[in-house]
């Protein structure tokens, strides 16, 4: 019964048989399936599975480099354009916002009770389309310090049930024996600077809603978890929280708790939802509360638009252009080398024992 299937490699006579068979209902001929299975099996055990054996020929390599450069150079150009499109106003205020007499001991000033209010004026040099993001930028602040990143309790943030899971939060775990919610160094050091913006002397609304990840608000920070005993310890770190608002609504905290990967980072403060025109002046009244002075950190206020690629950063565009350029150059060089000194592929006379007969062994 399997006589015609067994010789399936034979050509035409076989196909006519197959045609005849095809009128029958399409049930699989198990013997042929088995045969092909054993053939596959023997191909496998003999390590003769059908395989593709690519080799790096000059043609392949040169065209690969060309393709890469053809892709990379335009990508680099559009990345650079995207970065150029972003309008960014950066204002470093940590030094200027300390009254001149206090600058000899900034730490004492910032820990003291003196008023911390400070006025800054920014000028818009290029039209900024909404939404304009307001960031505070900290430098030399290691939110990724090992001691710091570990000092949090994710389960406590999620549900009031786990209020007492504070073991990881040391040295900011409890106040007078009662658990702190949210506990840990991260929450404790919550940024407490505030900015009030006005344009040409009219207040400029900064929308502080929707600055945190939706996923964090919905799942990571519980809407039944309320701040407790927060900043009640002997040392106050940063901002306080309104104990009547659940954590899921405390967006500044949520943003802060997404610890930054790098020591220079921005955190979203809010969004301006109107366009800013070229020549507008922005007055900022800020509360310079946050102590970055003990570790010589910087504080900056940033107003920035974004492009589809993110913020203002030329690095990626330049990197793409460089790599694309190198690839183009290599493609060129390899082509010249190939034309000057070609080698016939697979020429047995290049084999070591053919090159110097007798000396081979």
Site for another protein in 323-342 (CB under 8 A): 323, 326-327, 330, 334, 337, 341
Backbone angles phi, psi at 58, to 5 degrees: -55, -40
> What is the smallest separation between the CB atom of 22 and another protein, expressed in angstroms?
28
Choices 15-23, 97-105, 211-219, 245-253; region in contact with another protein by CB under 8 A = 211-219
Give the Å distances, CA to CA, from 337 to 58, 193, 330, 331, 341: 10, 62, 10, 10, 6
CA distances from 314 to 74, 79, 84, 137, 284 (A): 14, 8, 8, 18, 28
Nearer to another protein, 198 or 259 (CB): 259
Q: Does 351 bind another protein (CB under 8 A)?
A: yes
Query: Which of positions 263-302 make contact with another protein (CB under 8 A)?
Result: 263-268, 291-292, 294-295
State which of positions 114-133 bind another protein (CB under 8 A). Answer: none
- Is the bond preceding 131 in cis, omega lying within 30 degrees of 0? yes
Instruction: Write the burial class of residue 280 (CB in 10 Å: 0-12 exposed, 13-18 middle, 19+ buried).
Output: middle
Residues 82-121 that bind another protein (CB under 8 A): 107
Q: Which residue has the tokens 């200027």?
A: 96
Asked if residue 357 binds another protein (CB under 8 A), the reply is no
Nearest approach, Cβ of residue 176 and another protein (Å): 7
Tokens of 195: 């900015």
Looking at residues 152 to 191 of the shown chain, list those that interact with another protein (rule: CB under 8 A).
152, 154-155, 158, 170-176, 185, 188-189
Tell me the site size for another protein, rule CB under 8 A. Answer: 99
Stretch that binds another protein, among 17-25, 47-55, 194-202, 242-250 (CB under 8 A): 47-55
Footprint of another protein on 2-41 (CB under 8 A):
none
**Tokens 């818009």 found at:** 124
Smallest distance, another protein to C-beta of residue 243, A: 19
Q: Which residues contact 257 (CB under 8 A, 6 or more apart)?
A: 152, 157, 182, 186, 187, 216
């Amino acid at each position: 019964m399997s006589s015609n299937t067994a010789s399936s490699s034979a050509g035409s006579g076989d196909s006519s048989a197959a045609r005849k068979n095809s009128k029958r209902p399409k049930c699989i001929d198990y013997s042929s399936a088995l045969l092909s299975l054993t053939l596959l099996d023997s191909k496998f055990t003999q390590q003769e599975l059908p395989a593709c054996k690519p080799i790096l020929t000059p043609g392949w390599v040169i065209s690969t480099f060309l393709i890469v450069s053809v892709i990379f150079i335009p990508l680099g150009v559009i990345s650079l354009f995207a970065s150029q499109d972003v309008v960014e106003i950066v204002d470093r205020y940590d030094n200027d916002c300390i009254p001149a007499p206090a600058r000899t001991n900034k730490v004492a000033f910032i820990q003291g009770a003196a008023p911390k209010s400070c006025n800054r004026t920014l000028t818009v040099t290029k039209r900024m389309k909404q939404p304009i993001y307001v960031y505070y930028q900290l430098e030399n602040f290691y939110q990724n310090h090992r001691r710091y990143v570990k000092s949090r309790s994710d389960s406590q943030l999620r549900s009031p049930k786990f209020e007492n899971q504070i073991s990881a939060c040391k040295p900011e775990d409890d106040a007078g024996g009662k658990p702190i919610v949210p506990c840990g160094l991260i929450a404790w050091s919550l940024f407490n600077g505030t900015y009030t913006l006005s344009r040409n002397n009219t207040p400029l609304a900064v929308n502080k809603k929707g600055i945190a990840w939706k996923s964090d608000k919905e799942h990571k920070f519980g809407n039944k978890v309320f701040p407790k005993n927060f900043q009640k310890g002997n040392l106050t770190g940063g901002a306080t929280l309104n104990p009547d608002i659940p954590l899921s609504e405390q967006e500044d905290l949520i943003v802060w708790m997404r610890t930054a990967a790098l020591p220079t980072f921005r955190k979203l403060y809010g969004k301006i939802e109107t366009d800013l025109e070229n020549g507008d002046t922005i007055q900022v009244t800020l509360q310079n509360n946050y102590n970055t002075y003990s570790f010589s950190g910087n504080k900056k206020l940033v107003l920035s638009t974004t492009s589809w690629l993110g913020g203002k950063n030329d690095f990626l565009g330049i990197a793409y252009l460089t790599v694309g350029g190198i690839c183009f150059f290599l493609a060129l060089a390899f082509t010249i080398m190939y034309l000057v000194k070609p080698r016939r592929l697979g020429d047995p006379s290049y084999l070591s024992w053919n090159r110097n007969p007798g000396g081979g062994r």
